[in-house]
Structure 1
Amino acid sequence: MSIEFRQLRYFVAVAEELHVGRAAQRLHMTQPPLSQAIQGLEALLGVELFIRAKRGITLSAAGHALLPEARRLIKDSLALPELVRSAAQGETGQLSIAFVSSADYNLLPPLLRDFRSHYPQVQISLREATSDVQLEALRLGQIDLGLMIPPIPDKLAEQLNYRAILSEPLILAAPGDAPWLKSKQGAAKLSLADCQGQPLIIFPRKIAPTFYDAILGCFQQAGITPEIGQEAIQMQTIIGLVSAGMGIALVPQSVSNLKRPGVVYYDLVEKTPLVETGLAWRKDNHSPVLHAFTELIRKTK
């Protein structure tokens, strides 16, 4: 069975007018081909859609059942061009984004607000993940975008695009009630020498090798060998451990937006390396929604 939209349009016109002549005028056609089209639709369906009498025509039970569905199908068909155009321009669709925990305190909220203001009909799914997990998810095509801390391994560099978005210095997160900080109250900056002997809370190196090495490099330049007290893979966990008095941490500057009782943040006297955060996506991902997102970032960042 193959019903044409033309037949449905003809049926709806006759059903609404309950007069073949008036329906033909409405459709800008003559009456005979319209009658033939209706008869052809009835033959195709194997039922009578109209009860024909000398006084005129009325809808049969089958006609009454078909009318709302025919109207719906016609309405949906009229919406198809706009639906296709919106999808082609990235105005509708889905976008999956993974992000490192530190991005939740700087980049992610304004990026999402900006994108949603331009593309409110796009459905966004978010997933918090470390950079190594994001890279694997990109390799497998499980996410569209990764908001991560580089570098990109050489084995993936040819498959991925990368765009740096933010570079920021490291600052010190310390437990505010620590005895060794009492003499430093009111200070705007601390030296790493002030922290000597305090356990360091840090990401595992396998999770973020560049970040890990940058932190240890700060201590090495200060002539200090830190004691690794705890390792944690989430920034909020690291700050939570600092709050519990388990040690100190060097974190990206924007993490100071994460307010926890008992945690104080200090700029460091020493010059620290910049921690970079950027976007990565597959070169062979030609999603219009992905293109819309990366283009918006390119124009605003």
Structure 2
Amino acid sequence: MKEAPIDLRAWRQFVAVAEELHFGRAALRLHMTQPPVTQAIAQLERTLGVLLFDRTRRRVALTPAGEALLPEVRELLARAQALPSRARAAAAGEVGRVRLAFVSTIGFDQLPGWVRAFREHSPQVVLELVEATGDVQLRDLQRGDIDAGLMLHSPGFAPPGLSHLRVAVEPLVLALPEHHPLAAAPQLPWAAVLGEPLVIFPRRIAPSLHDAVFGLYHAAGRLPVVAQEAIQMQTIVNLVSAGLGLAWVPESVMQFRRTGVVYRTPDRTGARGRKQPAVPLCETSLVWLEGDAHPALDRFVGFVRERMEEGG
């Protein structure tokens, strides 16, 4: 059988009597007369099916059941009293949760500092972090499994249909095996670089960036020879270390100091002094669903925007 709910007023009367151990003083404290308080406690005991107080002509004392219940009821009333301010704080984005996905490259540099600073800035907003590639982030945003993502793309090619905030723009650099003949060369000639096998991420991970890398080869009249695909940048660098090929990676990946790998920027001067195509840039954006009403997320986006205006 479903038990009847007990309103907070009855619990406040119980606490008053329990702390005063006198029905008359409890009634004065509650700005009531004594009979309604006595009746309310009797009704509460009937509802619970247990006695909360031992009553004699000389004294009122808590029963073991009343003793056990008192701290729980105090906590209940304290939480109830805090609800209005907590609701206002949630509406202002001061409390809540932000589920944030991120690509590994942002985790090398900016993200750790942001997480630390945001926890100091908004200690009651929980940041739930999950590493995920761009295609997974887009899927999870549409499903509602995450609130925002930090993803890679070519400049100006943020995913359509999403709000976005640019947080980083950096060039691609070339990762080479440490013992590769080109690793120690004074300059990196384009012809030699573009003729080497390539380790790259699948196109579905970051289509615009993948196309920009391929466009670099096509502009030089070459077709890239893909030796291996890998999803994570760390894995790509590890495969370069194993000698599977060269890789174009965001400059921030250089902080991943993998033994057996060196990072270089090719010489753009080609044969007869002709300039070669510029190395593509890579942009990282914070993205979220347009029009998504989420005060805690708005607070995080505002925090990141302020950090960018301050120089990162």
- Map 1:110-125 to 2 at 5 A: 110-125=113-128
CA distances 1:123-156 after superposition (whole Å, capped 9, x unpaired): 3222222212211211222211121124355xxx
Aligned partners of 1:130, 1:63: CA distance in 2, in Å? 56
Paired residues of 1:243 and 1:260 also in contact (CA < 8 A)? yes
Instruction: Look up the match of 1:2.
Output: 5
Aligned partners of 1:137, 1:48: CA distance in 2, in Å? 53
Instruction: Look up the match of 2:180.
Output: 178
Instruction: Look up the match of 1:146.
Output: 149
Range that drifts further, 190-199 or 132-141: 190-199
Alignment-mate amino acid for residue 36 of structure 2: P
CA distances 1:183-230 after superposition (whole Å, capped 9, x unpaired): x2xx4x634334243211111223322111211222333444432221
Alignment-mate amino acid for residue 199 of structure 2: I
- Map 1:1-301 to 2 at 5 A: 1-150=4-153, 151-152=157-158, 157-158=160-161, 160-182=162-184, 184=185, 187=186, 190-270=188-268, 271-301=278-308
What SS class does the counterpart of residue 243 from structure 2 fall into?
Answer: coil
Sort the Cα spacing of 1:218 and 1:49 in 2 relative to 1 into closer, same or farther, 3 A: same
Alignment-mate amino acid for residue 249 of structure 1: A
Alignment-mate amino acid for residue 245 of structure 2: G
Sort the Cα spacing of 1:207 and 1:52 in 2 relative to 1 into closer, same or farther, 3 A: closer
Range that drifts further, 214-223 or 268-277: 214-223
What SS class does the counterpart of residue 169 from structure 1 fall into?
Answer: strand
What SS class does the counterpart of residue 78 from structure 1 fall into?
Answer: helix
Alignment-mate amino acid for residue 304 of structure 2: I
Paired residues of 1:91 and 1:289 also in contact (CA < 8 A)? yes
Paired residues of 1:173 and 1:251 also in contact (CA < 8 A)? yes
Per the TM alignment, residue 112 of structure 1 is displaced from its structure 2 partner at its CA by: 2.0
Per the TM alignment, residue 242 of structure 1 is displaced from its structure 2 partner at its CA by: 0.9
Paired residues of 1:193 and 1:224 also in contact (CA < 8 A)? no
Per the TM alignment, residue 39 of structure 1 is displaced from its structure 2 partner at its CA by: 3.1
Aligned partners of 1:221, 1:39: CA distance in 2, in Å? 88
Alignment-mate amino acid for residue 292 of structure 1: R
Aligned partners of 2:182, 2:305: CA distance in 1, in Å? 46
Alignment-mate amino acid for residue 171 of structure 2: P
Cα RMSD between the aligned structures?
A: 2.3
Alignment-mate amino acid for residue 181 of structure 1: A
Give ranges in structure 2 of 5+ residues lacking alignment.
Answer: 269-277
Alignment-mate amino acid for residue 236 of structure 2: I
How many corresponding residue pairs? 293
Query: Normalized against structure 1, the TM-score is what?
Result: 0.87
Q: Percent identity?
A: 49
Aligned partners of 1:191, 1:43: CA distance in 2, in Å? 90
Aligned partners of 2:164, 2:71: CA distance in 1, in Å? 51
Paired residues of 1:131 and 1:148 also in contact (CA < 8 A)? yes
Paired residues of 2:198 and 2:227 also in contact (CA < 8 A)? yes
Sort the Cα spacing of 1:214 and 1:178 in 2 relative to 1 into closer, same or farther, 3 A: same
